[in-house]
Structure 1
Amino acid sequence: MENDSEIVSDLKGLINILNDGKEGYETASENTDSIELKGVFLKFSAQRAGYAMELKDHIAQHGGDSDNETGGLLGAIHRTWIEIKQALSIKEDVAILSAVETGENEALDKYDQLIVDPETHADHLNLLKTQRAGIADALREIQRLRQQFEQR
């Protein structure tokens, strides 16, 4: 297939985003005292790790490999921002949830960029749509929790 390198590159980009999310959720879980939020953050961290593994399988099908277990530079900056916002905020959990919300919106944008190109990603389009739906569900849960914690 002539566009295998494009597919591998696109999927590696998603793996970076997913690893950023996994690490971001781990960082968020370490920066909250809420047992409820710790559980939610660790659940979504594990979900992102699973999504990354699924994409690594597709990369292998297209002749590539992905050894990346951590996120990219922008993810590191975002995780640092979570820590800064947490340290400076009066309502720490709300700040963490807002930062996570930003990260989830970025992930959805990346998925949307690939889903609009169904020819290139035909053999794994359903997987991308399923993962995107999972991230959208996570975002809705994070938004609900942020609203709940804002009222406390």
Structure 2
Amino acid sequence: MKNQEEIVSDLKGLINILNDGKVGYKEAVENVESPNLKSIFLEFSNQRYAYAEELKQHILQHGGESENDEGGVLGALHRAWLDIKDAFTSKNDSAILEAITTGEKAALDKYDEVLKNYENHADHRALLTKQREGIANALAKIESLKVQYQS
């Protein structure tokens, strides 16, 4: 069973990933041509912001501190889609969607890793499961858009 310090560390790692996703979606908004994609990416950026805020409150409720508004070392997993500058500089909607897919899959992997260690923590598990489902739904939407925006 995880102790309090380990739990807070895990949750902060997820906040880093969420912050990276928020920033990544904002960058994607700046670099896609489609108004439809801009709207969807803005929605997902706002979702990541809300998820990070939920986790920060959850940490505070459990005696931890969380003041991180930036990405971080663990968030480097999610930065996979920020590192493909070619997709952003080319303003190729299809390439940007592919990059986002990579980032969302990395985020889901991290959520899965954390969730498997929280079987005895119902309050943490409920919040993380809800957020994971939201990210999975976003990924499904991105996957369907990839078909629509194929080059």
Indicate whether the TM-score tops 0.5: yes
Q: Give, as a single letter, the amino acid of the residue that structure 1 aligns with 2:82.
A: R
Aligned residues: 148
1:97-152: CA deviations, max 9, x gaps?
Answer: 000000000000010011111246432211111100000000000011111001x6
**1:61 positional shift:** 1.8
Can you give the 5+ residue segments of structure 1 that lack an aligned partner in the other structure? none
Distance in 2 (CA, whole Å) between partners of 1:24 and 1:138 is 14
Give 3-state SS (helix, strand or coil) of 1:65's partner.
coil
Distance in 1 (CA, whole Å) between partners of 2:115 and 2:130 is 11
Partner of 1:132: 132
Task: Say whether 1:85 aligns with 2:77.
Answer: no
Identity %: 53
**1:94 positional shift:** 0.5
Structure 1 runs of 4+ with >4 Å offset? none
Distance in 2 (CA, whole Å) between partners of 1:24 and 1:135 is 14
Can you give the 5+ residue segments of structure 2 that lack an aligned partner in the other structure? none
Q: RMSD of aligned C-alpha atoms? A: 1.9
Matches within 5 A, 1:20-99: 20-73=20-73, 74=76, 75=78, 78-81=81-84, 83-88=85-90, 92-99=92-99
**TM-score of the superposed pair, with normalisation by structure 2:** 0.90
CA contact (8 A) 1:97 1:146 kept: yes
CA contact (8 A) 1:7 1:121 kept: no
**TM-score of the superposed pair, with normalisation by structure 1:** 0.89
Distance in 2 (CA, whole Å) between partners of 1:104 and 1:133 is 12
CA contact (8 A) 1:32 1:93 kept: yes
Distance in 2 (CA, whole Å) between partners of 1:88 and 1:46 is 25
